[in-house]
């Protein structure tokens, strides 16, 4: 039927390169009946930054049939994305977003690369590079106008045609995240996301398809919170993430978060939430309830609670989301009047305040790792999780203790320990805790319940800075997009908060309730992704080169050499504007040293084991690949180039800097 006619490309689009000009020729496009009244648009996105370089309205013939005979554009890039589609009938739509393209396709410009006869001199603003390397220049390398050479023939939307290569048979010998691979092919190196994304898995995201949607949406690490759900449930989720990695080629790491010794409410007898209204009287009780909870009753996990609180204290749920005044104590029951109404969520954190200060009596003496946490840690070790996050860390001692416990129990796996910074004690001992840990989380939910809210932003900034200086990955967590638990779009203030974390160049952002039990987990993830990309791009456009001072952290001479190599390689990468840094690393250490420098280009981290590859997935700017390699850097490089070229992820002429922890060397070269 006419009405069901699809949009259709009738003839191929031919693209020719002539000096800096790109000639598009021969496209014939037929719109479906629904698009008959639409104008048409053609838009090309620059590979580096995915911004529009031109917009052309095309000629319309015979109602819905359009043809582009010839169009010529100036190009500044090696890779473009072409979108073609109907112009929206409602122009207001344009102010929000571009219309959905009918055809969208990546175009690689396979230009022959040779050293430029006149290499440009170094930018006056940047320090002189240690030596001059051949730089890519499209204008110098493209064929003459008189003899245009075809650089790509569109295959009608089915994807770009890449030249076949002898290496293609071997291309499966390199393992890379399927989404990253597609991103690299589509948008090029520069537009890959540097900030990593952690998603808490809960009832809203625990099915295979839901986990897959998160992985496709950019989830790098799946977090399971042992405060909720059973071990059986968590085992099932870990199994599904594994299956996803094996079957779909992802490298999603698993982070197990311990419950810790906080005071929290019980699980509300299965209810997702209950509302406490202004003036209502509620009972907080340490009694164990077998049957359904009596009305307006909350169970509390800490036996000392009823003894520690005093009449007149203020009881805060989740750092003040709901507030009560303590009005009476009757044995195990504490009667409270609601003063700030709100939703009570299962296992919400409880703190009590006296004369304006947090009460830290016996509860401050609770062990950081409870007996339940130790059982959960055994579970995590047995399941081979990649990270264990420890709640309410007070000192470095507990981290060291846990690390030696893990080392003794899991000889063949290397689980990284993440310290959650969420208490006054952890702020006091920040540097020693971070030194002892393999990474940290700014756990703003509980932190905001222990320090005044207005101090949380400066605490976050400080934690991120210390982590970056000490070369430990840092995650900014909690309430980033809280409103998206219920609504499909974030508030402006939430976007500003996410932007600030990206601007601070934290390694990772984390979703909690938004992905665990919210209504829009995929949309929340998409917001983190798009805000990260936008702010990272802004950072590069503004040429905000790293201002943070990075102290020497090496503990041996050999480590000092690695550190110097990485600092120099990152600086060279910025000055020479290379396409990517390649790092060959068995333990991941050299890759993390490069990440610490936050270079402008992405870092391709090649490592020999899948577990190191998954762990590197938490670190800023790293694109981890699993690859077996030898001590011979020359052959490693040529093999890598061949493998990546066969998969369409790099192309001749790309300029890379390679560093390796076997030879402690730096090499600068164009991909042959």
Ligand X SMILES: C=C(OP(=O)(O)O)C(=O)O
- Min dist CB 260 to ligand X, Å, is 7
Helix pair angle (231-248, 371-383), 10° resolution:
20
Give start and end residues of each alpha helix (H) in 470-608: 492-503, 513-516, 521-541, 557-576, 589-596
- Min dist CB 391 to ligand X, Å, is 6
Query: Given candidates 445, 588, 599, 648, which one binds ligand X under the rule CB under 6 A?
Result: 445
Query: Given candidates 391, 532, 574, 619, which one binds ligand X under the rule CB under 6 A?
Result: 391
**Residue found by looking up tokens 């120099």 in the block:** 568
Size of the site for ligand X (CB under 6 A): 12
- Min dist CB 492 to ligand X, Å, is 22
Residue 445 found at the interface with ligand ADP (CB under 6 A): yes
Residue 478 found at the interface with ligand X (CB under 6 A): yes
Which residue, 313 or 318, is less far from ligand ADP as judged by CB? 318
Q: Which does 456 bind (CB under 5 to 8 A by kind): ligand ADP, ligand X, none?
A: none
- Min dist CB 66 to ligand X, Å, is 52
Residue 266 found at the interface with ligand ADP (CB under 6 A): no
Stretch that binds ligand X, among 38-46, 161-169, 186-194, 438-446 (CB under 6 A): 438-446
Alpha-carbon distance 634 to 240, whole Å?
39
Residue 446 found at the interface with ligand X (CB under 6 A): yes
- Min dist CB 300 to ligand X, Å, is 16
**Residue found by looking up tokens 């990075």 in the block:** 550
Alpha-carbon distance 198 to 204, whole Å?
15
Alpha-carbon distance 2 to 34, whole Å?
9
Q: Which does 229 bind (CB under 5 to 8 A by kind): ligand X, ligand ADP, none?
A: ligand ADP
Residue 604 Ramachandran class (φ > 0 left, ψ -120 to 50 alpha, else beta):
beta
Query: With 0-12 CB in 10 A as exposed, 13-18 as middle and 19+ as buried, what is 633?
Result: middle
First to last CA, the chain: 52
Q: Which does 193 bind (CB under 5 to 8 A by kind): ligand X, ligand ADP, none?
A: none
Residues 209-238 that bind ligand X (CB under 6 A): 225, 227
**Per-residue mark of binding to ligand ADP, 331-350 (x: CB under 6 A):** --------------xxx---
**Residue found by looking up tokens 């109602």 in the block:** 63
Residues 480-519 that bind ligand X (CB under 6 A): 512
Residues 510-539 that bind ligand ADP (CB under 6 A): 512-513, 516-517
Which residue, 181 or 446, is less far from ligand X as judged by CB? 446
Alpha-carbon distance 79 to 594, whole Å?
26
Q: Which does 196 bind (CB under 5 to 8 A by kind): ligand X, ligand ADP, none?
A: none
Q: Which residues contact 649 (CB under 8 A, 6 or more apart)?
A: 176, 181, 184, 185
Residue 427 in tokens: 């702020």
- Min dist CB 307 to ligand X, Å, is 24
Residue 257 found at the interface with ligand X (CB under 6 A): yes
Q: Which residue is nearest to ligand X (CB)?
A: 445
Query: Could you tell me which residues are beta bridge partners of residue 336?
Result: 282, 326
Alpha-carbon distance 230 to 232, whole Å?
5
Alpha-carbon distance 582 to 584, whole Å?
7
Asked if residues 568 and 588 have their Cβ atoms less than 8 Å apart, the reply is: no
Contacts 24+ apart (CB under 8 A), 165-168: 165/642, 165/645, 165/646, 166/642, 167/642, 167/643, 167/645, 167/646, 168/646
Q: Which does 444 bind (CB under 5 to 8 A by kind): ligand ADP, ligand X, none?
A: ligand X
Which residue, 165 or 483, is less far from ligand X as judged by CB? 483
Compute the half-sphere exposure of residue 366: CA atoms within 13 Å on the CB side of its CA: 24
Q: Which does 347 bind (CB under 5 to 8 A by kind): ligand X, ligand ADP, none?
A: ligand ADP
Consecutive H or E run containing 510: strand 508-511
Residues that bind ligand ADP (CB under 6 A): 200, 202-203, 225, 227-229, 345-347, 445, 512-513, 516-517
Residues that bind ligand X (CB under 6 A): 225, 227, 257, 391, 422, 443-446, 477-478, 512
């Amino acid at each position: 039927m006419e009405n069901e006619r699809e949009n259709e490309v009738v003839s191929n689009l031919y693209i020719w390169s002539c000096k800096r000009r790109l000639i598009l020729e021969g496209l014939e496009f037929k719109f479906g009946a629904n698009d008959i009244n639409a104008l048409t648009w053609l838009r090309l996105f620059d590979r580096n930054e995915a911004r529009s370089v031109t917009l052309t309205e095309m000629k319309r013939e015979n109602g819905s049939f359009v043809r582009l005979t010839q169009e010529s554009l100036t190009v500044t890039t090696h890779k473009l994305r072409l979108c073609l589609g109907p112009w929206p009938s409602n122009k207001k739509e344009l102010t929000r977003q571009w219309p959905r393209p009918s055809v969208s396709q990546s175009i690689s410009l396979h230009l022959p690369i040779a050293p430029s006869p006149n290499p440009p001199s170094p930018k006056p603003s940047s320090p002189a590079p240690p030596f001059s390397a051949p730089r890519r220049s499209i204008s110098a390398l493209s064929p003459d106008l008189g003899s245009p050479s075809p650089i790509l023939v569109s295959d009608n939307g089915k994807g770009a045609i890449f030249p076949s290569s002898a290496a293609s048979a071997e291309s499966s010998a390199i393992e890379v995240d399927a989404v990253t691979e597609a991103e690299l092919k589509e948008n090029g190196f520069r537009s890959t996301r540097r900030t990593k994304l952690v998603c808490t898995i809960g009832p809203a995201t625990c099915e295979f398809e839901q986990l897959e949607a998160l992985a496709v949406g950019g989830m790098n690490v799946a977090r399971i919170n042992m405060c909720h759900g059973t071990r059986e449930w968590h085992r099932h989720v870990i199994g599904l993430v594994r299956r996803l990695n094996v079957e779909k080629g992802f490298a999603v790491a698993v982070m197990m978060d311990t419950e810790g010794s906080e005071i929290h409410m019980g699980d509300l007898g299965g209810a997702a939430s209950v509302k406490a209204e202004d003036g209502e009287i509620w009972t907080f009780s340490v009694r164990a309830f077998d049957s359904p909870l009596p009305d307006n009753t909350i169970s509390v996990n800490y036996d000392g609670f009823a003894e520690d609180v005093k009449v007149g204290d203020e009881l805060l749920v989740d750092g003040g989301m709901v507030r009560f005044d303590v009005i009476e104590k009757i044995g195990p029951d504490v009667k409270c009047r609601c003063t700030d109404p709100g939703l009570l969520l299962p296992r919400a954190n409880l703190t009590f305040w006296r004369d304006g200060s947090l009460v830290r009596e016996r509860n401050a003496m609770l062990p950081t790792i409870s007996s339940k946490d130790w059982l959960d840690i055994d579970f995590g070790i047995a399941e081979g999780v990649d990270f264990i996050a420890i709640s309410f860390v007070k000192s470095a001692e507990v981290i060291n203790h846990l690390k030696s416990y893990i080392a003794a129990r899991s000889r063949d796996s290397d689980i990284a320990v993440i310290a959650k910074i969420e208490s006054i004690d952890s702020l006091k001992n920040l540097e020693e805790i971070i030194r002892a840990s393999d990474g940290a989380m700014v756990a703003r939910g509980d932190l905001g319940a222990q320090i005044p809210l207005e101090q949380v932003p400066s605490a976050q900034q400080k934690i991120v800075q210390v982590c970056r200086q000490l070369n430990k990955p840092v995650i900014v967590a909690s309430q980033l997009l809280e409103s998206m638990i219920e609504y499909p779009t974030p508030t402006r203030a939430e976007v500003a908060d996410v932007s600030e974390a990206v601007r601070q160049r934290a390694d990772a952002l984390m979703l909690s309730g938004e992905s665990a039990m919210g209504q829009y987990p995929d949309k929340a993830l998409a917001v983190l992704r798009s805000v990260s990309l936008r702010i990272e791009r802004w950072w590069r456009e503004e040429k905000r080169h790293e201002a943070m001072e990075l102290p020497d952290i090496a503990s041996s001479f050999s480590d000092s050499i690695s550190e110097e190599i990485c600092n120099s390689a990152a600086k060279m990468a910025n000055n020479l504007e290379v396409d990517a840094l390649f790092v060959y690393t068995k333990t991941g250490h050299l890759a993390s040293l490069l990440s610490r420098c936050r270079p402008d280009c992405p870092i391709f981290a090649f490592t020999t084991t899948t577990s190191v590859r998954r762990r590197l997935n938490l670190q800023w700017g790293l694109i981890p690949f699993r690859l077996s390699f030898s001590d011979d850097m020359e052959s490693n490089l040529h093999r890598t180039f061949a493998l990546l070229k066969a998969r369409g992820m790099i192309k001749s002429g790309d300029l890379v800097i390679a560093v390796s922890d076997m030879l402690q060397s730096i090499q600068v070269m164009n991909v042959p």
